[in-house]
Amino acid sequence: MKKFISLVLVIIFLTGLAACGKSGDNANNEPPVSPVQPETPPTPEVAPVVEAIDMQLEYNQHAQVTGYIKGLSADGSVVWEHVTETCNVGQCDVIQNIGVSSAGYMFLAGGSLYCLDPDNGELRWVNEGFGGDGASWDFDEEGNLFLTGYFGPWIFGVNPEGETIAYQNVMPEHYEAEGYYWPSALLADSDGFIRIRYFGNSRVMIVDPFCGEIIYDYMYAEPLDVEFLAGDWVDNADDPSVFMKIGEDLKYEIHLNLDNGTSYYYEGEFELDTLYEEHGTGPDWLRSYLDYTDDPIIDTIGMGDFIVNYSSRGQGDDWICFAQINNGDSFLSVNLNVFELILYKLTGPVG
């Protein structure tokens, strides 16, 4: 019996030691440590997007000007800033904001052409070949930039990489004698030519910029648009011989009755030249082919077009459209010696 009791005590003693051994791993009864979690990577900062580029000019007491160019985000905060060289103030603008093209953001300063990266303002290239100021400019469909200077070269062009592609120092001398000076606007057209408007004679010159050949010139006029055209037009409100009616959809009808009793009728829909609104749109703004006439000569020559290629707007209610029928293939000019019709926009009933 004593042996049995001793064995039981030994078992109890060993069991207690085992229990103590288990609790010895965490003698202070502290909670277990959680496994280490990987750190969450920081959210990368998103670079602000430039939504607009603004140029401000500052003048000092020494008759000098400096340009401050800023790339702005959508909320107006400044993303980057570029300060131009300081230039002496002249008769014309010496620092000019050209704008953003496929090449980047471009501006003129001191006769040099600069191109910046529009996203960060870093300089991409400089072309010092222009050398002029008071410039007018336009981009063609390939992103080439063409300029003419109020003071400076007649025609200058660069490609998107900043390489000079056109340079014509002066126009032919006799054109200046005819009033082709003080350029006020330049337009690159879809035919690869440029058109320059001159204050000196209110004419537009069409030029091949690469060889300097003058292709054509025409009188500048205000552009034709739907609001201006829509309505009734006559050559004489009291006794009209020409009546032109144009709808807001640009569908038209033209009645032309000559003094000899011959009549002509045109109908159709005009297509407006869509060149930039601030420029004259060219020698053939509106063109219509004959729909009906009682003139038998048409059967033999097959012509009967009506061309409106010049407009001018008067003051108040005296709105005027000049219809110059002076193209070489115009039936009216070639056969009837009609070179200009002055049409007045009606504001009341005829007669």
> Which has the higher per-residue pLDDT, 277 or 75?
75
Domain 52-219 coded CATH 3.40.50.300: no
The neighbour count for residue 291, using CB atoms within 10 Å, is: 13
pLDDT, residue 216, reads 84
For residue 63, is pLDDT > 80?
yes
Determine the Cα–Cα distance for residues 296 and 267; give it in Å rounded to an integer.
19
**pLDDT tens digit sequence for 272-302:** 654 334 444 455 566 677 788 888 777 666 6
Q: What is the token pair recorded at 349?
A: 């009933």
Determine the Cα–Cα distance for residues 60 and 275; give it in Å rounded to an integer.
39
pLDDT, residue 24, reads 47
pLDDT, residue 322, reads 65
| Alpha-carbon torsion angle 61, 64, 68, 69, nearest 10 | 160
Domain 226-345 coded CATH 1.10.3470: no
**pLDDT tens digit sequence for 154-203:** 999 999 999 999 999 999 989 988 999 999 889 898 789 999 989 898 88
In the chain, residues under CATH classification 2.130.10.10 are: 52-219
- Give the residue from 312, 264, 272 showing the smallest Cα distance to 289: 264
The neighbour count for residue 190, using CB atoms within 10 Å, is: 9
Mean pLDDT to the nearest integer, 30-49: 71
In the chain, residues under CATH classification 2.40.128 are: 226-345
> What is the percent of the chain where pLDDT is above 90?
40
